[in-house]
Structure 1
Amino acid sequence: MSVHVEATHRGLARAWIDFESGLTQVPIIARLMSGRLRIEDYRSLLFNLRQQVVDGGRWISRAASNLSHEELRSLFIRHAAAEHRDYRLLEDNYVAVGGDRAHIRSGTKNIGSEALSAFMFHAASQNEPVGLLGAMFVIEGLGNRLAGPWAALIRTQLTLDEDAVSFLSYHGENDVDHLTMFDDALALAVTDAATADSIVRHAKVTARLYRLQLEELDNV
């Protein structure tokens, strides 16, 4: 592993620690972790996440179109293909907990989701947007490290079946494979200190905006 890749890993680890500790201060996560989650909280979470997640495959595809490195571009395209229908799981979960499919499909991004999506598309539109690997690290890390435990807590607290938490469960089980893809991409992309710094910075920005999305549920 090169010195620049090692530096990237250290920077991303620090960004993750800050992100995870900050999440515990977000009201809906605090209620979940303390056993006080309500069904209306979970419906709100699903509704708000769907409006941002629907853009996921789109910004990854846009980033891929602006990469000149063929193998790296292929990794981005594979990732976009894996992500582009995730929003359907959120819709299914919303219906499973009493929500209306037409309602969630007609939703508007909250102000945090607007900021997060705008940043993603802006970054993806740049020439050689390898910094977005930092964004992927945060989002896939959330799925790999937190989604599974969150799904279990939600099921227990709200007495739900698996079909009501399939979005979180799926990411808890599958994002480890996405992180392996991320490591492969990192090895290809990080060839100098500037790239390492860019990836870490994108991770920090994405972490803060993702947290903002959760802080601003239903605030449109």
Structure 2
Amino acid sequence: MTTTTERPPAAETASLPDRLAQVWAEFEERLAEVPILRDLHAGEVTLDDYQRLLFNLRQQVVDGSLWIARAASNFDMAHFEIRSAAMHHAVEEHRDHLLLERDFVAVGGSREELRAGRKNIGSEALSGYMFHRAGQPNPIDCLGAMFIIEGLGARKALEWAEEFQAALGLADNQVHFMRYHQTADEGHTGKLDAILTSDIVDDAAADAIVTCAAVVSRLYVMQLTELDRY
């Protein structure tokens, strides 16, 4: 006797943007339970909390442009537009860690300590997963990771920057990394949306993109939850 696994009806009928919107909604629910973000929204964060967040984000920010570049190198000519967009994106992202470093130093942190830092266990899981996926042939599923990570910049970064400023009295040049990403990632998400709604994304690719987005959303929450756990 054999059995077959059917795709859920919603996956058969919903568009890719709608499916990703559902992943995003679930992601926001999980973010709301992250301890440091709960304290941030309540106005109860400390300067140490902000430094810890920057310290723990730094390694993932460094790795971001690297896995994007790896993904770009694994797209063939049939995916030329995606490869070109990924290469351009990697170039734009590869200096972002320097913005974060300047903010860290501006609030009393040590650049040397920051650069000597290790990934927390969530960052290890996120980077490991992304480098693995980016190393596959035509890793179109990595668009799901970009949807989550660029979405954070476009939808959350300015909110977080303003909340840190309100709670800690920080100047704009002490939250520049987050403020910059609100503008930069809005542009990135616009380009990403154009690719996600193009003919190059067939049903199989859409499934892979949604799966990757869902995995990355969980790993990103893990990264924010497991601060300083190595």
Task: Write the letter of the residue equivalent to 1:13.
Answer: A
Q: Indicate yes or no: 2:25 matched with 1:17.
A: yes
Distance (Å, rounded) in 2 between the aligned partners of 1:108 and 1:93: 18
Q: Deviations over 1:85-139 (max 9, x none)?
A: 1111111111011000000000000000000000010000001100000000000
- How has the CA–CA distance of structure 1 residues 153 and 168 changed in structure 2, closer, same or farther, with 3 Å as cutoff? same
Distance (Å, rounded) in 1 between the aligned partners of 2:210 and 2:201: 14
Question: Residue 156 of structure 2 aligns to a residue in which SS?
Answer: helix
* Post-superposition offset of 1:184: 2.3
TM-score, structure 2 as length reference: 0.91
Structure 1 partner of 2:123 = 113
Q: Indicate yes or no: 2:47 matched with 1:39.
A: yes
Question: Residue 108 of structure 2 aligns to a residue in which SS?
Answer: coil
- Alignment partner for residue 141 of structure 2, among 110, 120, 131? 131
TM-score, structure 1 as length reference: 0.96
Structure 2 partner of 1:54 = 62
- Alignment partner for residue 28 of structure 1, among 13, 29, 36? 36
Q: Indicate yes or no: 2:200 matched with 1:177.
A: no
Question: Residue 12 of structure 1 aligns to a residue in which SS?
Answer: helix
Structure 1 partner of 2:221 = 211
Task: Write the letter of the residue equivalent to 1:141.
Answer: G
Structure 1 partner of 2:153 = 143
Which one has the largest radius of gyration? 2
Distance (Å, rounded) in 2 between the aligned partners of 1:170 and 1:189: 32
Pairwise CA RMSD: 1.6
Structure 1, unmatched stretches of 5+, are: none
Distance (Å, rounded) in 1 between the aligned partners of 2:200 and 2:177: 31
Q: Deviations over 1:32-83 (max 9, x none)?
A: 0011010000000000000111011100000000001111100001111111
Contact 1:5 1:196 in 2 (8 A): no
